[in-house]
Structure 1
Amino acid sequence: MDRQPTLETERLVIRPLAEVDRDGLFAVAADPALWEQHPAHDRWRREVFDALFDEGIASGGALAVVDKVTGRIIGSTRYDRYDAEDGGKVEIGWTFLERECWGKGINPEMKRTMLAHAFQHVALVEFRVGDTNYRSRYALEAIGAVRTDRYELGKYDGKRVVHLYYEIDRTSFASGPLAG
């Protein structure tokens, strides 16, 4: 599976994230409101963002989300944890969009095309989200992702962090809210 494709929607170009995107993406990430419910709530700080950006580039699956009309970067997302076994699965995550995009259907538009690409290669897409990140949890449920009984415990900044797992399989995608 190509985890860094170039995908286009009506309003977006989703393309491989590149080093030249660092400053433009930081301008988006520098808004503390983006991270207020996220376990890593300080990604608006330059040094924390830079570590996230570097990790994304190293992952081989990070994508820039670009407004098709203006050519301006408005966020990022990632394909990660690809496994070809048993029909295949991939994780989609690390998504953030500038606040001006919230409530305008940008996330579902982006996820529809990302899921369509993924389901050409895998049978299952997983999402991992912080348990107190209600904004992201609601967004996942709105696109048809179902919470599983799986979770992951970790630590960030000396505090316990719980990540919940959501998933969409090929069949539920084809008949779910993003079908079309």
Structure 2
Amino acid sequence: MAFDRQPHLISDLVELRPATAEDFDALFAVAGDPLIWEVHPAHDRWQESVFRRFFADGLASGGMLVAIDRESGAVIGSSRYDFGRAEPDEVEIGWTFLARSHWGGRYNGEMKRLMLDHAFTGVSRVMFMIGETNIRSRRAIEKVGGKLTDRRHHAEMAGQPVVHVIYTIDRSGSAG
């Protein structure tokens, strides 16, 4: 059975559903907040032209999900499954952003729990690639059980070198 990178996942708190082209305006309304991106390596993603490329890449990936607050029905962010940098029997969860109104609570953890539970129906390990200096995202992954590995990914963003660290969570809950 092939892994479904665009499932429809629901909990009491949040709903994750496949992204469509019609989601651009609602997602940009969230992503247009510069403070969401201030510690992210792509700190200019709040700009419409930059976000438009991010969004198009997400749709093209075949793994982009839209996050919806179940109580209000509002779009609050997105995340994605991808195999591009993953090792065998592994999937990456990433490209996640969340409205600041939903920071510091249960939303990110619940999104990750839903995505992890689904991922473990098809793979044994999930990886998360996070900018080395993005302490906010690193702490959030640690809160859901991510273990820092010795794997690194070197890239260039806006002409600057960027190092990403890799966290993993195994189906068994142990470090990868």
- TM-score norm. by structure 2 comes to 0.94
Structure number with the higher helix fraction is: 1
| Alignment-derived partner of residue 142 in structure 1 | 143
Structure 2 residue 15 is the aligned partner of structure 1 residue 13: yes
Question: Residue 84 of structure 1 contacts residue 122 of structure 1 at CA under 8 Å; is this kept in 2?
Answer: no
> For 1:171, what is the secondary structure of its paired residue?
coil
| Alignment-derived partner of residue 55 in structure 2 | 53
What residue identity is the alignment partner of 1:99?
R
Report 1:14-163 matches (<5 A).
Answer: 14-81=16-83, 88-163=89-164
Residue-by-residue CA offset, 1:11-44 (whole Å, 9 max, x unaligned)? 1110001111100100100000100010000000
Q: In 2, distance between residues paired with 1:151 and 1:84?
A: 12
* Alpha-carbon distance, 1:103 to partner: 0.8
Q: In 2, distance between residues paired with 1:13 and 1:32?
A: 24
What residue identity is the alignment partner of 2:33?
D
Q: In 2, distance between residues paired with 1:124 and 1:113?
A: 15
Q: In 2, distance between residues paired with 1:83 and 1:28?
A: 27
Aligned length: 172
Question: Residue 85 of structure 2 contacts residue 92 of structure 2 at CA under 8 Å; is this kept in 1?
Answer: no
What residue identity is the alignment partner of 1:117?
H
Question: Residue 151 of structure 1 contacts residue 165 of structure 1 at CA under 8 Å; is this kept in 2?
Answer: yes
> For 1:127, what is the secondary structure of its paired residue?
strand
User: 4+ runs of 1 displaced by more than 4 Å?
Assistant: 82-86
Q: In 1, distance between residues paired with 2:21 and 2:14?
A: 20
Identity of aligned residues (%): 51
> For 2:116, what is the secondary structure of its paired residue?
helix
In structure 2, runs of 5+ residues without a counterpart are none
> For 2:173, what is the secondary structure of its paired residue?
helix
- TM-score norm. by structure 1 comes to 0.92
Q: In 1, distance between residues paired with 2:154 and 2:49?
A: 24
Question: Residue 86 of structure 2 contacts residue 92 of structure 2 at CA under 8 Å; is this kept in 1?
Answer: no
Q: In 2, distance between residues paired with 1:110 and 1:156?
A: 27
Q: In 1, distance between residues paired with 2:112 and 2:158?
A: 30
